[in-house]
Structure 1
Amino acid sequence: MKTELYSISKIFTERLLRIPDYQRGYAWGDKQLKDFWSDLSQLESGHNHYVGVLTLEDVHNDKVVNWKDDTWIIKSKCYEPHYVVDGQQRLTTVVVLIQCILEAIKENNLNYTEPQDIRKKFIFETKDQGISRSYLFGYEVDNPSYEFLKQKIFCEDSDNQLNIQETIYTNNLLNAKEFFLDKLKDMELQWIESLYTKVTQNLLFNIYSMSDEIDVHVSFETMNNRGKSLSHLELLKNRLIYLSTKLDEESYEKLKLRTSINECWKTIYHQLGRNKDNPLDDDVFLFNHFILFFGKSVNNGNSINYRRFRRGYGTNYQEYLLDVKFTTKSLSSDGEEKLTIEELYRYVSSLKTSVEKWYEISNPKGSSLDPEVVKWLEKINRIDSEECLPLIMVSLQKGTAQPLIVKFLTSIERLLFTMMLIRRSFGIDFDASRFIEWASDLSNDETTLEKIIFKMDETRDTLISDKRIINQISDSLKDGGFYRWRGLRYFMYEYEQELKSQSKTYTDKLDWELLSDDIRDHKTIEHIYPQNPRKPCWTSKFKDYSGKERSLLRHSLGNLVPLSHPKNSSFQNKPFLDKVGNSSNTIGFKYGSFSEIELTDNKQWTAVEILHRGIHLLKFMEKRWKIKFDDLAHMVNFLNLGFVLKKEKLKIHNKEIKSDS
């Protein structure tokens, strides 16, 4: 290797720089951009700053022939084509900043240099002022970032004007441009000139040129990336491409595999970054696919306990992928351990189809799924149960008919809700590993979706028909009541949706994001009878109840209501009718969610109203999730409010609660 210090200006002298297909795209976020800007700001004029290593690979002629837009500049002007093996994050950042400087100065000269000359030096060259244009830095043509960089960052027209794919990496490119434009918008020209000098003259790189003897793919994995470490997904792509070059197969077979890998990763990054407001995590997707694809094999064919499996493989599953499964040793192994081109292709194809469904599961509203499927996926996402996601992913991959998918999702949602209830009891839990087992069996065509639905319904029916379990759930609710129940917000939101459907309106009055923002913040759930009642209007109504009984009433299901907007602390202790609201109090219940509005039918709020509303909500639970209660007395006992009947001289008669007098 040869080494020498180079400024950006020297680096861009008669060189074409491209990011190869095994490299990730632009990964820097706000933290790295702020650090970079801080380094520039603190750099004194005339001083140099060592940026790091830039590793380049000479591009052989057999690959250069595919650089059709660059043939003229390579042949006529003897520009040297290079792949950027390491250092692309810093180099990309510099190029984006130079483009932003050009936009900031508009048509002004910079250090006695015209903008078009700066553009010709760092952005692109044209052939005899004609239409042929060669970009001096960029991505290979089949990379999604290629067109994005050209059109959205360099503001250039393209023959493929509509052919733009957005990925996590293209989002990062745009974020970097917006970051620098914001920094430059109020900067005077003399300061921009100083900045331009620092960027082009005072940032120094070590350049290493890779020799033919060094395997570039191995070097890529072992280099120290100082800007932002490589993700496992990025390392895996490089490894698979590397293995494709080592296979003892025909060249056209290896080329097909490599093309498949590139197309797969294009799809992965497009889908993971498709929703800018909800970018999906690399490792979460890769781990869930790993469970599905390799779970049983790494678990010796046994079923998988999701939580134990996650503890065992959640942080080192990548070691299995990179150190055990996808290695050169596996290519030369015998028997079942041998890694073949067919298995590699099957794995890559599975990743590609899985990530498309993974996006739809995580962003059902932004998908092309049937509206009824979208509705149930949104419900399941609100429960936030990651154990069932691989099973849902496989079910959607199978291309199952819509009615069966809806039936399947309905069954899963009911089982998940039942699990949320049961987890409030002690020593009873559903073994969520069964979701993984079902997913694996369904993926391998060892079972059907109909059979899985039957098993889920059978499991749920067994759990809710067990009187011992129901009693333990009730006992567990004596301490903290429903207020501390993990499923409270989901239950209340579903009840709100039921009231909305009855109102024949289409506008939500309760925002799920606000309601579920932070489960530790209980400002979105109101105790109608306050937690700390101090005013006589409350103390007089509950004076006949003991401290323990008042606590049970406060945290009982019927005394809790979701708020469309958090109210201030003074609201909590107001008399009930003041909480309802009036023309001078527009934050009351009558101006809130459907659940709040429903409360305004009451003229007062006592233990009797808490009991009646609790029973009403349990009847909704019974209807919505098939949680069966024997009768009204069973519901009263489940709520632990039997003492209210005695204190208020009430009795149960003909399925109604009436006065005993």
Structure 2
Amino acid sequence: MQTELISLSKAFTENLYRIPDYQRGYAWGLKQLKDFWNDIAQLPDRHNHYTGVLTLEAAPKSATATWEDDLWIIEAKNYQPHFVVDGQQRLTTAIILIQVILEATQNGETLNFDTKEEIQKRYIYLTKDGGISRSYIFGYEKDNPSYEYLITHIFQEQSDRHSTVEETIYTKNLSFAKEYFQEKIKDYSAIEREKLYTKITQNLLFNVFTIREDVDVFVTFETMNNRGKPLSNLELLKNRLIYLSTKFIPNQDGEHSHDRTKLRRTINECWKSAYHYLGKNKARVLDDNFFLLVQFLMYFNVALPRTEHAQANNSLGLYKYKQEEGYKEYLLDEFFTARRVTDASIENPLSVDAIYAYAKDIKDTVKVYHEIFNPEDSKLSGQEKMHLERIGRLRNYDVILLLTAMYKKKPPQAQRISFLEQLERMLFFRTIRSYHFHNIDLEEDGVLFIAGKKTFAEIVKSVSDCTEEFIKSKDFKESIANLGKGGGYYGWAAIRYFMFEYEQYLKSQTKTNRDKLSWEDFRKENFKSDYVSVEHIYPQRAAHASWNGAFSKYKIPQRNILKNSIGNLVPLSIPKNSSLGNRPFVDKKGSREQKVGYSYGCYSEIEVSHEDEWTPHHILARGLRLLNFMEDRWKVDFGTDRNKTDLLGLGFLDPTRKLKLPKK
């Protein structure tokens, strides 16, 4: 290990850096970028900042022999090729920032007396034939999707490949980092850019450590990358499987020689596919650890030993592996271990075929998993997409394993649609009284189904029977009535989901197919702004005199029930000033002059705006209308309007006064 600290400029003197295939991609997000930027921005001129250890592995000739674009710079210019074992996040970030500075620098300007071309040659690429062929000083191995993305999207250079650039979670992070730095320096003067460039290249100091040939680089990687932003379990597992692929030693007949090369390539391809699908929807990047848990439970748990408690309760004991990442311990400490490859005396050795099959299952499962969360990106039927979108809005993660299992085994479409409808219905009623459904274990059902130990028809029946049992129980209407107490429907976990479904119903009754309420916006609640997505029509703080007349005859507890009753709540399609929430009803409705208010909102708001006034009986009438919708949408029967009035807790209103209600 070098005892002196060296700058980025010295580190990039006649050195070539590659991120090896066992490494994760670029994982830094906003927090890490802020920390990196603050370290530089707060660094006084001509002061140094210790950036950490840069751990390298000298790239062997067997590896560099395939680096066709780089052989000339290694052989003719004596550049030293390295794999980056630790420090790639900091190194990548520094290079992205240098690229951003270069793009902001005008032709003819210099940075520390170096031209843009000279800086580019030191940190970005060298060319031997006027730019036709290029050797990139820093980058990824060519079979990594980030290789092409770094060249074309970050360095803004032409690629010699004709394939479409593949995007993953990691490429998304690369793009975000570049955009972050572009925003930071957009107003910088030439002098400020030069100072920033000096700090990055001269004042960020590294200890450089090169791993000896007798040190196992894979184990070193696992150990070192537990610092900083920890590796995810999926990233650790990829490194472990590549490590194991190197442990299959060819025998005299050459057995395993070809297999282990193919295995390493397969692992890389399968993980490339995993990160492609996990990051495909940029608006909702999927968590890789949760994906690995789902895949693990389906792939392994049917064969795992049961705990005593699980045996006594005829259960698979899934929680042993879910709690505190027990699945990670099983994968890395028990199943995918070097001993199961190298110890000839072990009873159940690990084969090339076993690792190959597992990697292929990762690839097969992740596509299905992605489509569960993003049904619009699938080739499923319209009905299935609709039901999956509804289930997704209820955000119940215990259903993901079962849904993934279902779409991996693909029972007939009619059965799938029937089940999705029953499942959504159960999940909806579970938000009203979760305790009633505690005997349904959807994750265990998924494991049993994928193992062939429980039929799909049995699962459908158990979900349907449990829901019907709840609806017919005395607890059902009591639970509905309880929603109107205390904080009322405003505190109901599914209030946004219910309101959104009613909005979709109103849309279906119009001649247009235009959405006026976005689920992604509606479900968010930003407490730092004045935006509320569900509003009380009769305000929580009804200070204006206009509210006194119709409501003043009722006691405070009764007025509180009215405020939080479901008929008094309306979804808002766009941010509205919170001060409007306490205004008179005529102001809330809006006007042609202001172009603000319910009249210019979503279908639910427009429906409310058709009323001339807003009184307790209007709240009751709308509440009955919404309960009628609930009856039709989720196939229940609340009885007469009198029964429904009591369920709403509004029995104290004058029953002789009737407002016109729409027919069911």
Give the TM-score of the pair, scaled to structure 1: 0.88
Secondary structure in 1 matching 2:26 = coil
Q: Deviations over 1:624-647 (max 9, x none)?
A: 111233444433332233343xx4
Contact 1:90-1:227 at 8 Å conserved across structures: no
**Distance across 2 between alignment mates of 1:333 and 1:533:** 79
Describe the shift of the 1:112–1:306 C-alpha distance in structure 2 as closer, same or farther (beyond 3 A): farther
Describe the shift of the 1:304–1:512 C-alpha distance in structure 2 as closer, same or farther (beyond 3 A): farther
Secondary structure in 1 matching 2:56 = strand
Does residue 612 (structure 1) correspond to residue 621 (structure 2)? The answer is yes
**Distance across 2 between alignment mates of 1:306 and 1:512:** 37
Describe the shift of the 1:176–1:526 C-alpha distance in structure 2 as closer, same or farther (beyond 3 A): closer
Code of the aligned partner of 1:144: P
Contact 1:563-1:592 at 8 Å conserved across structures: yes
Matched with 2:207 is 206
Secondary structure in 2 matching 1:461 = helix
Matched with 1:36 is 36
Secondary structure in 2 matching 1:207 = strand
Code of the aligned partner of 2:152: Q
Code of the aligned partner of 1:173: L
Q: Deviations over 1:19-77 (max 9, x none)?
A: 11001112223333333333334445554443222222122222222212222333333
Alignment of 1:82-231 (within 5 A): 82-108=82-108, 109-129=110-130, 131-223=132-224, 227-231=228-232
Report the alpha carbon displacement of residue 223 of structure 1 after superposing the two structures with TM. 1.7
Does residue 361 (structure 1) correspond to residue 372 (structure 2)? The answer is yes
**Distance across 1 between alignment mates of 2:228 and 2:500:** 43
**Distance across 2 between alignment mates of 1:352 and 1:119:** 38
**Distance across 1 between alignment mates of 2:585 and 2:45:** 69
Report the alpha carbon displacement of residue 394 of structure 1 after superposing the two structures with TM. 1.9
Match of 1:563 among 547, 550, 572: 572
Contact 2:535-2:581 at 8 Å conserved across structures: yes
Matched with 1:659 is none
Q: Deviations over 1:503-561 (max 9, x none)?
A: 12122222323432139899333333443445565444345544444333333222322
Secondary structure in 1 matching 2:493 = coil
Matched with 1:508 is 515
Question: For this pair of structures, how many residues does the alignment match?
Answer: 649
Matched with 1:420 is 431
Code of the aligned partner of 1:157: Q
Match of 1:347 among 358, 380, 400: 358
Alignment of 1:104-503 (within 5 A): 104-108=104-108, 109-129=110-130, 131-223=132-224, 227-247=228-248, 250-295=256-301, 297=304, 299-300=306-307, 309=319, 313-331=323-341, 332=343, 338-400=349-411, 402-423=413-434, 428-431=435-438, 434-475=441-482, 477-503=484-510
**Distance across 2 between alignment mates of 1:392 and 1:419:** 18
Segment drifting more, 577-586 vs 303-312: 303-312
Q: Deviations over 1:225-276 (max 9, x none)?
A: 6543322222221112112222467122222322221112211222222222
Describe the shift of the 1:552–1:67 C-alpha distance in structure 2 as closer, same or farther (beyond 3 A): same
Contact 2:6-2:207 at 8 Å conserved across structures: yes
Q: Deviations over 1:321-375 (max 9, x none)?
A: 3223322244449888654433323332222222222222223334454443332
Contact 1:17-1:136 at 8 Å conserved across structures: yes
Matched with 2:252 is none
Segment drifting more, 376-385 vs 241-250: 241-250
Segment drifting more, 217-226 vs 235-244: 217-226
Contact 1:87-1:225 at 8 Å conserved across structures: no
Report the alpha carbon displacement of residue 409 of structure 1 after superposing the two structures with TM. 2.0
Describe the shift of the 1:43–1:607 C-alpha distance in structure 2 as closer, same or farther (beyond 3 A): closer
Segment drifting more, 307-316 vs 581-590: 307-316
**Distance across 1 between alignment mates of 2:482 and 2:104:** 68
Matched with 2:65 is 65
Segment drifting more, 613-622 vs 15-24: 613-622
Contact 1:304-1:434 at 8 Å conserved across structures: no
Contact 2:391-2:424 at 8 Å conserved across structures: yes
Contact 1:580-1:600 at 8 Å conserved across structures: yes
Secondary structure in 2 matching 1:69 = coil
Secondary structure in 2 matching 1:187 = coil
**Distance across 2 between alignment mates of 1:133 and 1:287:** 42
Contact 1:28-1:89 at 8 Å conserved across structures: yes
Report the alpha carbon displacement of residue 210 of structure 1 after superposing the two structures with TM. 1.5
Matched with 1:622 is 631
**Distance across 1 between alignment mates of 2:21 and 2:644:** 63
Code of the aligned partner of 1:282: D
Secondary structure in 1 matching 2:515 = coil
Secondary structure in 2 matching 1:178 = helix
Secondary structure in 2 matching 1:503 = coil
Secondary structure in 2 matching 1:541 = helix
Q: CA RMSD for the aligned pairs?
A: 3.4
Secondary structure in 1 matching 2:54 = strand
Contact 1:304-1:437 at 8 Å conserved across structures: no
Contact 2:70-2:135 at 8 Å conserved across structures: yes
Describe the shift of the 1:543–1:22 C-alpha distance in structure 2 as closer, same or farther (beyond 3 A): same
Does residue 525 (structure 1) correspond to residue 496 (structure 2)? The answer is no
Report the alpha carbon displacement of residue 143 of structure 1 after superposing the two structures with TM. 0.5
Describe the shift of the 1:334–1:533 C-alpha distance in structure 2 as closer, same or farther (beyond 3 A): farther
Q: Deviations over 1:68-114 (max 9, x none)?
A: 22223333333332211111122222222332333233432444433
Report the alpha carbon displacement of residue 309 of structure 1 after superposing the two structures with TM. 2.9
Describe the shift of the 1:196–1:581 C-alpha distance in structure 2 as closer, same or farther (beyond 3 A): closer
Give the TM-score of the pair, scaled to structure 2: 0.88
Segment drifting more, 341-350 vs 232-241: 341-350
**Distance across 2 between alignment mates of 1:458 and 1:348:** 38
Contact 2:589-2:597 at 8 Å conserved across structures: yes
Does residue 16 (structure 1) correspond to residue 16 (structure 2)? The answer is yes
Match of 2:643 among 630, 634, 637: 634
Q: Deviations over 1:281-316 (max 9, x none)?
A: 222322333333344526546689999939962555
Q: Deviations over 1:564-591 (max 9, x none)?
A: 3455455445554554444456434333
**Distance across 2 between alignment mates of 1:183 and 1:602:** 50
